């Protein structure tokens, strides 16, 4: 079943129920949105910018955009890009693209002009919808994309002279379903890889992938009509959108929050009665630090309805969840593993019932198969033997678009080779060891950075940590730990080295660097950037020869 059928169903059954709420705590007051249907009452008790949309209006707006695209000759085989910050318009535009039969192409809002041009050309985008934050970047490349791309601006006036205005173009379009017949085998979306090895690759998915991710999310987290999901991560990424698909399949409400400060998150959960919150590791750390330091007082918020906190997108330190459960003992906790090539989270799943296995990513998710293979492609079945994690299921990508060589490297007989090194424990739970490309080989020993990062994260003064390999003439590589100390805390290199004496000698970082740890918009540590910064630098760092 195409995922657009779920929107049609919700619009029919829950027409006047709220589907989406947008909140911007940094913009005060409630005002009318850019679409005339967002006719909100002036809520005097809301101290921030707030808009909402019903399932009926959501569907109508998707239909209007679909009919606009069709009137411009867009349909199956065409691509439509989305370059927007999280906002109320994002998802109706996305579904409008799908309803037209075209392929949706979400773009990372951090892309530079040149990266935008590269991705638009690689995905063969015919139309690009962009927001006000990107006017300068788009103007720079508007005449130099290498393609005849129609540019549509969605935002407050004035509309740039090089683009067409979204509101004006859709205002006279029909709000009825355009009637394009879709199947599970039709192409639906192109997502881009993180680009950790150069420019990003274009990941092509069918409608089958999107529909399956809805089922996976509800199977794992049990969304009902009573749930309210708080969505904070960027919608261009598979993680945020596929977790929201749990709201879509259950017909429940979701809140799009613009802002990641601890007080913003807690205030929104409190005021909007959110029951499910998906966090990235840095945001969870910030919330805990703010509570423990007294920056925020939990007594100021109504959080009793908050039933589930789950984390994904990167390895989760066990110490973080231990701290979380001490402060929020009644919360269910879960983690989902996934990647854009497997349509986001859920191909491996811990499960709320397995809190005793915190640190593991879990077992095969709903409708998925998993295996761990050795270097010779033989299947590993014994505990604690490290190999590459592979997954198979309805959510595996079709291919890397226009890149058959890269596709053949990771897709083998329906199995997706993830590039993540993993191992089983005695109970069959899977633990991530590290990214295949991040493994450090020092003097012939394999060192897995995630193990060291988890260990260092348990230090009470450490806020964040990344371990990378640096070139060494004698050993080939040595491990270096970039460590961000908690605000208001002090900790010296010598103290960290002493703490590391608990590790086996070969796992102790040879260099300790006290500096911020950069993470991308989805919470992943930007290790290529760290290697570039520190790989050839003359560092003032401690050699750990203990």
Count how many domains the chain has.
2
Give the Cβ contact number of residue 217 at 10 Å.
Answer: 27
Which residue, among 364, 367, 373, has the nearest Cα to 336 in the 3D structure?
364
Two tokens, residue 297: 């007082």
Q: What is the CATH number of the domain that holds 488?
A: 3.30.300.30
Which pLDDT score, from 0 to 100, does residue 144 have?
82
Task: Report whether 237 contacts 522 (CB < 8 A).
Answer: yes
Q: What is the CATH number of the domain that holds 160?
A: 3.40.50.12780
Residue 305 lies in a domain: no
- What HEC string does 150-190 produce? EEEECCCCCCCCCCEEHHHHHCCCCCCCCCCCCCCCCEEEE
- Rounded to 10°, the helix 238-250/90-100 angle is 80
Q: In the listed set 206, 230, 261, which residue is the last one of a domain according to the structure?
A: 206
Burial classification of residue 229, based on how many CB atoms lie within 10 Å of its CB (0-12 exposed, 13-18 middle, 19 or more buried): buried
List, as one string, the DSSP characters of 49-65.
Answer: EEEEEEHHHHHHHHHHH
Residue 130 lies in a domain: yes
- Domain with 161, as residue range(s), is 54-206
List, as one string, the DSSP characters of 281-304.
Answer: HHHHHHHHHHHHHTSS-GGGS--T
Burial 385-403 (b: 16+ CB within 10 A, else e): ebbbbbbbbbbbbbbbbee
Distance CA 167, CA 155 (A): 8
Residue 364 lies in a domain: no
Two tokens, residue 196: 């950790």
Q: In the listed set 158, 179, 206, which residue is the last one of a domain according to the structure?
A: 206
pLDDT of the chain along its 546 residues, tens only?
899 999 999 999 999 999 999 999 887 654 434 333 333 434 445 567 889 999 999 999 999 999 999 999 999 999 999 999 999 999 999 999 999 999 999 999 988 898 899 999 999 999 999 999 999 999 999 988 767 899 999 999 999 999 999 999 999 999 999 999 999 999 999 999 865 445 789 999 999 999 999 999 999 999 999 999 999 989 998 888 899 999 999 999 999 999 999 999 999 999 999 999 999 888 898 999 999 999 999 999 999 999 999 987 666 778 889 999 999 999 999 998 888 999 878 899 999 999 889 889 999 999 999 999 998 999 999 999 999 999 999 999 999 999 999 999 999 999 999 988 899 999 999 998 877 677 787 765 678 788 888 889 889 999 999 998 888 776 778 899 999 999 889 899 999 999 999 887 878 999 999 999 988 766 678 887 888 888 754 343 433 433
Distance CA 342, CA 487 (A): 37
Which pLDDT score, from 0 to 100, does residue 47 have?
63
Distance CA 248, CA 499 (A): 47
Which residue, among 295, 451, 474, 466, has the nearest Cα to 386 in the 3D structure?
451
Which residues are registered as beta bridge partners of 545? none
Which pLDDT score, from 0 to 100, does residue 26 have?
82
Task: Report whether 83 contacts 134 (CB < 8 A).
Answer: yes
Distance CA 283, CA 266 (A): 11
Q: In the listed set 184, 206, 228, which residue is the last one of a domain according to the structure?
A: 206
Task: Report whether 63 contacts 177 (CB < 8 A).
Answer: yes
**Residues in Cβ contact with 332 at an 8 Å cutoff, skipping those fewer than 6 apart:** 307, 308, 309, 352, 355
Which pLDDT score, from 0 to 100, does residue 505 have?
82
Which pLDDT score, from 0 to 100, does residue 238 have?
86
Residue 170 lies in a domain: yes
Two tokens, residue 12: 């029919």
Residue 350 lies in a domain: no
Which pLDDT score, from 0 to 100, does residue 195 have?
52
Burial classification of residue 458, based on how many CB atoms lie within 10 Å of its CB (0-12 exposed, 13-18 middle, 19 or more buried): middle
Residue 343 lies in a domain: no
């Amino acid at each position: 079943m195409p995922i657009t059928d779920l929107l049609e169903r919700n619009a029919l059954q829950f027409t006047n129920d709220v589907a989406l709420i947008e909140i911007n705590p940094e913009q005060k007051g409630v005002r009318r949105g850019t679409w005339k249907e967002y006719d909100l009452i002036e809520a005097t008790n809301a101290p921030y910018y707030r808009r909402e949309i019903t399932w009926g209006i959501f569907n109508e707006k998707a239909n209007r955009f679909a009919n606009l695209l069709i009137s411009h000759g867009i349909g199956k085989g065409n691509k439509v890009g989305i370059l927007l910050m999280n906002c109320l318009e994002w998802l109706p535009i996305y579904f409008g693209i799908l309803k037209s039969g075209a392929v949706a192409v979400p773009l990372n809002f951090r892309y530079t002009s040149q990266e935008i041009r590269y991705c638009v050309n690689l995905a063969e985008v015919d139309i690009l919808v962009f927001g006000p934050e990107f006017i300068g970047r788009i103007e720079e490349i508007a005449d130099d994309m290498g393609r005849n791309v129609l540019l549509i601006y969605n935002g407050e006036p004035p509309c740039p002279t090089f683009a067409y205005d979204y509101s004006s173009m859709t205002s006279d379009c029909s709000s009825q379903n355009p009637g394009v017949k879709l199947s599970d085998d039709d192409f639906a979306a192109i997502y881009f890889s993180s680009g950790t090895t150069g420019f990003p690759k274009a990941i092509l998915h069918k409608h089958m992938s999107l529909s399956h991710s809805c089922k996976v999310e509800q199977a794992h987290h049990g969304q009902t009509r009573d749930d309210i999901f708080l969505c904070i991560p960027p919608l261009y990424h598979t993680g945020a959108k596929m977790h929201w698909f749990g709201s879509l399949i259950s017909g429940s409400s979701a809140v799009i929050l613009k802002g990641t400060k601890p007080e913003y998150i807690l205030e929104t959960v409190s005021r909007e009665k959110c029951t499910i919150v998906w966090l990235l590791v840095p945001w969870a750390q910030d919330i805990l630090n703010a509570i423990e330091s007294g920056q925020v007082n939990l007594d100021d918020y109504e959080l009793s309805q908050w039933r589930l906190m789950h984390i994904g997108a990167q390895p989760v330190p066990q110490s973080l969840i231990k701290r979380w459960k001490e402060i929020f003992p009644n919360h269910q906790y879960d983690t989902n593993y996934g990647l854009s090539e497997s349509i986001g989270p859920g191909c491996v799943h811990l499960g709320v019932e397995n809190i005793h296995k915190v640190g593991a990513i879990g077992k095969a998710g709903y409708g998925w198969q998993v295996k761990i293979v050795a270097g010779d492609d033989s299947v590993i079945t014994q505990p604690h033997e490290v190999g590459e994690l592979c997954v198979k299921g309805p959510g595996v990508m079709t291919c890397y678009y226009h890149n058959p060589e890269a596709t053949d490297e990771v897709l083998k007989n329906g199995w997706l080779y993830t590039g993540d090194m993993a191992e089983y424990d005695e109970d069959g739970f899977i633990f991530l060891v590290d990214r295949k490309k991040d493994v450090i080989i020092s003097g012939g020993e394999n060192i897995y950075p995630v193990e060291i990062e988890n260990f260092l994260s348990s230090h009470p003064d450490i806020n964040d940590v990344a371990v990378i390999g640096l070139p060494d003439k004698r050993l080939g590589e040595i491990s270096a730990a970039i460590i961000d100390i908690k605000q208001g805390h002090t900790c010296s290199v010598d103290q960290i080295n002493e703490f590391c004496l608990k590790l086996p000698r070969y796992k102790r970082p040879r260099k300790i660097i006290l500096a911020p740890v950069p993470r991308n918009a989805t919470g992943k540590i930007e290790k290529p950037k760290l290697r570039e910064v520190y790989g050839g630098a003359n560092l003032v760092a401690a050699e750990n020869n203990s």
